[in-house]
Amino acid sequence: MLSCNYCHAFAKHSGFISYRGRMRFALINSGLGLLATASELNKLRPDADLVIAMDPDGMPWGPRTPEDIAGRSLAMARMTAAYEPDVIIMACNTGTVHALDVLRAEFEPGIPVVGTVPGIKPAAAAARTVAIWATVATTASDYQRRLIAEFGGGAAVTPVACPGLATAVDAGDGDGIAIAIADAASRTPAGCGAVVLGCTEYELAADLIASAVPGAILFGTAAAVAAQALRRTVREPASATIAGPDLSPVTGVSAGTLTVLLSGRLGKLPEAALRYRQGRELALLTPGREPASGRADRDATTALL
Beta bridge partner(s), residue 261: 53, 266
User: Helix %, strand %, coil % for the chain, to 5?
Assistant: 45, 15, 40
Q: Is the peptide bond before 270 cis (omega within 30 degrees of 0)?
A: no
Q: Give 149's contacts (C-beta < 8 A, 6+ positions apart).
A: none
Q: How far apart are CA 193 and CA 27, in angstroms?
A: 31
Query: Is 199 annotated as catalytic?
Result: yes
Q: How far apart are CA 26 and CA 256, in angstroms?
A: 13
Q: Give 39's contacts (C-beta < 8 A, 6+ positions apart).
A: 222, 277, 278, 281, 282
Quickly count: other Cβ atoms within 10 Å of residue 65's Cβ. Answer: 10
* Catalytic option among 4, 162, 192, 199: 199
Query: Is 92 annotated as catalytic?
Result: yes
Quickly count: other Cβ atoms within 10 Å of residue 145's Cβ. Answer: 13
* Catalytic option among 7, 92, 162, 192: 92
The set of catalytic residues is 92, 199
